[in-house]
């Protein structure tokens, strides 16, 4: 099992760890600050002992670091590509805010997300997007950034999550294995509350301007593409 250092401290940029397993082009560590591609958020990149980490995946409780080169020792010093990670943290936080806005304003559920560095996307139930809708989202978003709101992260029982979190913001919870009893909640007071194990910023003031770059309707859903500076 890999301890996920990024959950307690998403701002951790360097760490030391021990290799507990080696395979064809990958290593598993006892703990890591590298975020694996999961929950719609793209993976981190960076270095382990100066060897490039090009892909990070998760299988059960283990996190696999795919490296381009040989790591000689059994201990590693990890360095996260912080520019990439911070861009992903801002995109992911922006996604929660947008999902909160459209749930509140239009009663529409977010059914999928794709958090990447250049342009991110969220897939929602069908939503008629016009200039008025885009303006509403961008203005609500700017309000939340101006309020400089601290995010809250905490764990709650699965049953409590079902009671406390807006049903529109808890899609997928029923699909989680029954063995998962506690869930991590990400709350942006006054803006959104949902369960999520990704990485986010501490305060909404870290976000810049939101741009809705494009949108499309496909297979009974709407995809909204966005970027945040
Ligand atoms: Zn999330």
> Is residue 31 predicted with pLDDT exceeding 90?
yes
pLDDT at 11: 98
pTM, entire model: 0.94
pLDDT at 63: 97
101 by Cβ neighbours in 10 Å (0-12 / 13-18 / 19+) ranks as buried
Confidence bin at 36 (pLDDT 50/70/90): very high
pLDDT in tens, 142-197: 999 999 999 999 998 888 887 877 777 776 677 777 788 888 999 999 999 988 99
CA dihedral sign, ordered 189, 193, 196, 200: negative
Question: Is the model more confident about 14 or about 60?
Answer: 14
Cα 197 to ligand 1 centre (Å): 7
Cα 113 to ligand 1 centre (Å): 8
Nearest to 210 by CA among 144, 154, 155: 144
Cα 40 to ligand 1 centre (Å): 8
pLDDT in tens, 107-119: 999 999 999 999 9
Nearest to 193 by CA among 181, 202, 185, 201: 185
Nearest to 188 by CA among 225, 220, 154: 154
pLDDT at 70: 93
Cα 23 to ligand 1 centre (Å): 30
Cα 39 to ligand 1 centre (Å): 7
Cα 121 to ligand 1 centre (Å): 12
- Domains, the chain, in order of start with CATH, read 3-80 (2.40.30.130), 85-228 (3.30.980.10)
> Is residue 58 predicted with pLDDT exceeding 70?
yes
Cα 125 to ligand 1 centre (Å): 17
Cα 49 to ligand 1 centre (Å): 30
HSE, CB side, 13 Å, CA atoms: give it for residue 130.
Answer: 3
Cα 220 to ligand 1 centre (Å): 23
Cα 198 to ligand 1 centre (Å): 5
22: its two tokens: 């080696």
Residue 34 main-chain phi, psi, to 5 deg: -75, 125
Cα 94 to ligand 1 centre (Å): 9
Cα 32 to ligand 1 centre (Å): 20
164: its two tokens: 């406390």
């Amino acid at each position: 099992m890999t301890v996920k250092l990024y959950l307690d401290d998403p701002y951790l940029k360097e760490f030391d760890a021990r290799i507990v397993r080696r395979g064809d082009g990958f290593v598993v560590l006892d703990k890591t600050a590298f975020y694996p591609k999961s929950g719609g958020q793209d993976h981190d990149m960076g270095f382990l002992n100066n060897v490039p980490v090009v892909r990070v995946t998760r299988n059960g409780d283990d996190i696999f670091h795919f490296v381009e080169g040989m790591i000689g020792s059994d201990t590693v010093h990890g360095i996260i590509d912080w520019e990439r990670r911070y861009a992903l943290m801002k995109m992911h936080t922006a996604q929660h805010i947008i999902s909160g806005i459209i749930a509140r304003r239009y009663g529409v559920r977010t059914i999928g997300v794709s958090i990447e560095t250049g342009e991110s996307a969220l897939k929602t139930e069908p939503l008629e997007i016009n200039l008025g809708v885009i303006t509403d989202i961008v203005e609500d978003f700017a309000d939340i950034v101006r309020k400089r709101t601290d995010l809250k992260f905490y764990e709650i029982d699965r049953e409590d999550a079902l009671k406390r979190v807006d049903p529109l913001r808890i899609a997928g919870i029923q699909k989680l294995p029954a063995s998962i009893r506690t869930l991590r909640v990400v709350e942006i007071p006054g803006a959104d509350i949902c369960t999520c194990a990704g990485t986010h910023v501490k305060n909404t003031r870290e976000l810049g301007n939101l741009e809705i770059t494009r949108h499309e309707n496909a297979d009974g859903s709407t995809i909204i593409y966005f970027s945040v500076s």
